[in-house]
């Protein structure tokens, strides 16, 4: 069921999103060669908790028998890791790497969700282009995240933009509604046909998140039960914001 947020609920959503954005910014500022993804996780958790929130990804259920709940406050996915990378003291970022940070802050009953891909030190021109195209794919979808359009319009815009630039979108994972739960209806694929799906209405809050692979779209799940990598070993990038559908232009809630 798709939930329409009240004015009060939207204000609470904005607070949760503000905390998520602050944590994302703190992690961005800390990224450098030599830092571990574990340290980045600790930074994000401290910012979230210092601002009255809870890191919602920590302890998130896997849904698979024998797979433990997610053990960290952020997903930190390095290079060919697409999503759900687990922070570790053993994963030390080095010059030229890229790292995708996906985090969710829960505050006063609501969730704020955002993801970014960052370069570590200097990166190659093709690597930077992948990140730029992934970010812009979000904004291409955002053009259709308006009252009266359909979910398929958002999905189609993202997929077409990525494909025409020579990259692949991940098909097995998608964006989603968000609010009291981290994942709510509707699902928001990063590909599809325009004019399909539910019609967007003011008060909907959505997490739109292009996940883009430099090579072919096939993915694999690692033995940890969480980390998703590109099958061909090419780089992957991720960009996500929580947004609000309004009577006019959509409002991005996780940019600060």
The per-residue pLDDT string of the chain (256 residues; one tens digit each, 9 = 90 and over) reads: 899 999 999 999 999 999 999 999 999 999 999 999 999 999 999 999 999 999 999 999 988 888 999 999 999 999 999 999 999 999 999 999 999 999 999 999 999 999 999 999 999 999 999 999 999 999 999 999 999 999 999 999 999 999 999 999 999 999 999 999 999 999 999 999 999 999 999 999 999 999 999 999 999 999 999 999 999 999 999 999 999 999 999 999 998 7
Which domains, from first to last, does the chain contain? 7-252 (3.90.230.10)
Q: Is there a contact between 117 and 188 (Cβ–Cβ < 8 Å)?
A: no
Q: At what angle do helices 125-142 and 151-164 cross, to 10 degrees?
A: 160
pLDDT at 91: 98
Which residues sit opposite 51 in a β-bridge? Answer: none
The pair of structure tokens assigned to 245 is: 């559908």
Which DSSP string do the residues of 79-142 spell out, in sequence order? Answer: TTEEE-PPP-TT-B--TT-EEEEEEEEEETTEEEEEEEEEESSS--HHHHHHHHHHHHHHHHHH
pLDDT at 63: 85
């Amino acid at each position: 069921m798709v939930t329409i947020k009240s004015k009060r609920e939207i204000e609470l959503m904005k607070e949760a999103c503000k905390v998520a954005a602050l944590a994302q910014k703190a992690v961005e500022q800390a990224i450098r060669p030599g830092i571990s993804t574990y340290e980045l996780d600790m930074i994000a958790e401290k910012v979230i908790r210092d601002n009255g929130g809870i890191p919602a990804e920590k302890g998130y259920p896997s849904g698979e028998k024998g797979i433990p709940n997610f053990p960290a406050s952020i997903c930190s996915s390095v290079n060919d890791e697409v999503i759900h990378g687990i922070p570790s003291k053993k994963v030390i970022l080095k010059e030229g790497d890229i790292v995708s940070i996906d985090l969710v802050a829960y505050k006063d009953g609501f969730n704020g969700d955002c993801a970014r891909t960052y370069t570590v030190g200097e990166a190659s021109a093709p690597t930077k282009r992948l990140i730029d195209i992934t970010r812009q794919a979000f904004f291409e979808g955002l053009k259709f995240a308006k009252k009266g359009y359909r979910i398929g319009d958002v999905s189609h815009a993202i997929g077409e933009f990525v494909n025409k630039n020579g990259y692949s979108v991940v098909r097995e994972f998608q964006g989603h509604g968000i609010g009291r739960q981290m994942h709510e209806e509707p699902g928001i694929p990063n590909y599809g046909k325009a004019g399909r799906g539910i019609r967007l209405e003011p008060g909907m809050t959505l997490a739109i998140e292009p996940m883009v692979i430099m090579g072919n779209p096939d993915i694999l799940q690692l033995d940890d039960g969480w980390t998703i990598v590109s099958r061909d070993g090419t780089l992957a990038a991720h960009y996500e914001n929580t947004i609000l559908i309004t009577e006019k232009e959509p409002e991005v809630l996780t940019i600060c």
